[in-house]
Structure 1
């Protein structure tokens, strides 16, 4: 962020849209959550099995 301060403003705008209930922003957010949860589950399974 320090190297690219314009990203800070873009992030604020994105979160503002999300907080206002913008459907496109919510769709992207839900997709990110789904991808993250899958990866977290994969990592958890690997660490549980001792891999």
Structure 2
């Protein structure tokens, strides 16, 4: 199941996946979410990764 924010953005805040075979559980939690990007440089590709093209 998944829970989403009630602010109209429907941001996934928690999610759980239950598997039978093989047995397992996967969970996800989002905390301190802000709907704007404070630091757009987080999307900049590091120089060492640019050389891999």
Higher relative contact order (CA 8 A, sep 6+): 2
* TM-score, reference length from structure 1: 0.29
The structure in which a higher percent of residues are helix is 1
* TM-score, reference length from structure 2: 0.29
- Greater Rg over alpha carbons, structure: 2
The structure in which a higher percent of residues are strand is 2
